[in-house]
């Protein structure tokens, strides 16, 4: 009887039911789109951060910035070598990024802290190579030199031509601990050609090149790369997942320490927490027990992200969420008012039912049942609209820019041209990421819950009105 009456009343009042369902659908669809875009923002930001600290890394430890930094400008020395203008000279200068290092014994000390699952050290270097030629100038004697009556003394003239033609090439090198391949910036890249390091190549002269740098320098597996006079064999090409690598070249840590005159030193310690929910407490433990260090989590680094990604993320998390909440509340209120108004127009109907023996509770359940069905219909429509909106965002995939760096303090990884190599003023780094709007099962569950809640709220309005009707008063009412 309940379902028969319910089906008949919904069919008879389908226009009013469609209005209520449409209002709820708009609110639910907006919630789905906003949640999906916010999730996409989070994934985009994670993608940006992974290019700096690598997958599986929860925080990094670096040396605390010193106000009395001993950093010096790189110096290059060249000799004048006779009249041979075809001779090319070159000089490499390998510098530790940030000019601040920690003893590699700190890696084991950090790894022994409570809550730390694993820790690995890395050394970030910047190589500046200057190469070119000197050309010696030619002495030209004045036209009157040697003529009769000309003044006696040293020959008069001038030097013409000469000069120098030098090229400056700068690139980044990262020394990675090959015995622990699960941590560090290289984990955010995929080997697309050749292979990665083996655990036995702790001091081997091998290198993994970033795909963009390899393309620029026309490098392939099997080629050799010379760094400060040392030849390294290219064993693999790595393509970063985020589109931007932490370094141009990756070599074993011991080789990097030798090239940078930093034996027994690291610039960054990558830390993985045993429990991802306890990252803040692990950070406090490391800061308390190991002095002179700066601990940076992914949340700390995320606060330095600026550009269109940051702006869009702020809009989605603040304006978008408040807008969706406002629209949803308005949809619930409108649905409740429309249901209550419909009850007012059905006074004689409910009065007759009560006169026939229906109790107030049964009338209330009938009104609530109709409202819940309207809510579920609105939920289905809202989910369909929300999925369509999220699919449209993903199909368009608007490109957002994320600018990182430009500040001081320790950071993750060591990007090309500055990056986040350690304490000290760092160069800004701009990345581009495509925005997607993934819809998770939890978002669909939220939409269903909102649909049922909307139906119950509107049903509560109408049911309360229906329960207060008396049969005698209802029958006296004329529609």
> Using one digit for the tens of pLDDT, what is the confidence trace for 395-437?
887 776 666 554 433 444 443 333 333 333 344 556 666 777 8
- Residue 187, classified by CB atoms within 10 Å of its CB into exposed (0-12), middle (13-18) or buried (19+), is buried
Residue 29 shares a structural domain with residue 100: no
pLDDT bin (cut points 50, 70, 90) of residue 236 is very high
In a domain, 298, yes or no: no
In a domain, 303, yes or no: no
Across the range 270-284, mean pLDDT stands at: 86
pTM summary value? 0.57
In a domain, 228, yes or no: yes
Does 109 have pLDDT greater than 80?
yes
- Residue 437, pLDDT score: 81
pLDDT digits (tens, 9 = 90+) for 318-366: 666 677 777 777 777 777 777 766 666 666 676 677 777 777 777 777 7
Does 195 have pLDDT greater than 80?
yes
Cα 475 off chain centre by: 66
Q: 250 is written with which tokens?
A: 């990756």
How far apart, in whole angstroms, are the C-alpha atoms of residue 297 and residue 259? 29
In a domain, 294, yes or no: no
pLDDT bin (cut points 50, 70, 90) of residue 443 is confident
How far apart, in whole angstroms, are the C-alpha atoms of residue 90 and residue 26? 67
Residue 444 shares a structural domain with residue 407: yes
Residue 87 shares a structural domain with residue 27: no
Do 188 and 55 contact (CB within 8 A), yes or no?
yes
pLDDT digits (tens, 9 = 90+) for 9-33: 667 677 777 777 887 888 888 888 8
Residue 131 shares a structural domain with residue 197: yes
Select from 231, 261, 289 the last residue of a domain: 289
In a domain, 60, yes or no: no
In a domain, 243, yes or no: yes
Do 379 and 448 contact (CB within 8 A), yes or no?
yes
Domain count, the chain: 2
Residue 283 shares a structural domain with residue 317: no
Residue 95: give the domain boundaries: 71-289
- Residue 285, pLDDT score: 92
347-355 and 321-345 helices, crossing angle to 10°: 60
In a domain, 302, yes or no: no
Residue 113 shares a structural domain with residue 252: yes
Does 467 have pLDDT greater than 50?
yes
In a domain, 300, yes or no: no
Residue 180 shares a structural domain with residue 76: yes
């Amino acid at each position: 009887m309940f379902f028969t009456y319910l089906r008949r009343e919904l069919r008879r009042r389908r226009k009013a039911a469609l209005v209520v369902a449409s209002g709820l659908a708009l609110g639910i669809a907006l919630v789905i789109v906003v949640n999906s875009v916010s999730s996409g923002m989070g994934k985009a930001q994670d993608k940006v951060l992974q290019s700096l600290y690598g997958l599986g890394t929860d925080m990094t430890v670096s040396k605390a910035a010193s106000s009395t930094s001993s950093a010096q400008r790189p110096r290059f020395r060249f000799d004048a070598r006779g009249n041979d203008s075809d001779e090319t000279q070159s000089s490499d200068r390998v510098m530790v990024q940030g000019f601040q290092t920690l003893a590699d014994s700190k890696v084991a000390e950090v790894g022994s802290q409570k809550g730390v699952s694993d820790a690995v050290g890395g050394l970030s270097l910047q190589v500046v190579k200057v190469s070119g030629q000197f050309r010696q100038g030619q002495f030209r004697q004045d036209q009157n030199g040697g003529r009769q009556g000309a003044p006696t003394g040293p020959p008069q003239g001038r030097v013409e031509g000469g000069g120098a033609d030098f090229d400056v090439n700068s690139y980044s090198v990262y020394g990675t601990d090959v015995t622990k391949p699960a941590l560090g910036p290289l984990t955010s890249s995929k080997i697309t050609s050749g292979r990665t390091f083996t655990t036995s190549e702790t001091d081997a002269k091998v290198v993994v090149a970033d795909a963009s740098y390899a393309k620029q320098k026309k490098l392939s597996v099997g080629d050799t790369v010379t760094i400060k006079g040392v030849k390294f064999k290219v064993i693999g090409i790595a393509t970063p997942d985020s589109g931007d690598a932490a370094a141009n070249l990756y070599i074993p840590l011991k080789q990097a320490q030798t090239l940078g005159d930093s034996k027994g030193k690291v610039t960054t310690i990558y830390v993985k927490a045993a429990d991802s929910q306890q990252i803040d407490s692990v950070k406090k433990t490391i800061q308390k027990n190991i002095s002179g260090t700066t601990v940076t989590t992914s949340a700390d680094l995320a606060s330095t992200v600026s550009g269109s990604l940051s702006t869009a993320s702020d809009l989605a998390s603040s304006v978008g969420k408040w807008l969706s909440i406002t629209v949803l509340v308005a949809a619930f209120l409108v649905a409740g008012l429309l249901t209550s108004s419909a009850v007012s127009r059905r006074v004689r109907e409910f009065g007759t039912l009560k006169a026939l023996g229906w109790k107030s509770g049964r009338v209330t359940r009938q009104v609530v049942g109709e409202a819940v069905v309207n809510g579920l219909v609105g939920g289905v429509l809202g989910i369909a609209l929300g999925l369509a909106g999220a699919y449209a965002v993903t199909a368009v995939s608007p490109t957002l820019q994320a600018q990182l760096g430009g500040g001081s303090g320790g950071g993750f990884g060591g990007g090309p041209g500055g990056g986040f190599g350690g304490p000290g003023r760092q160069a800004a780094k701009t990345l581009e990421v495509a925005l997607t709007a993934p819809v998770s099962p939890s978002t669909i569950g939220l939409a269903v819950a909102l649909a049922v809640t909307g139906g119950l709220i509107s049903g509560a309005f109408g049911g309360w009105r229906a329960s207060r009707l008396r049969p005698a008063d209802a029958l006296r009412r004329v529609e």
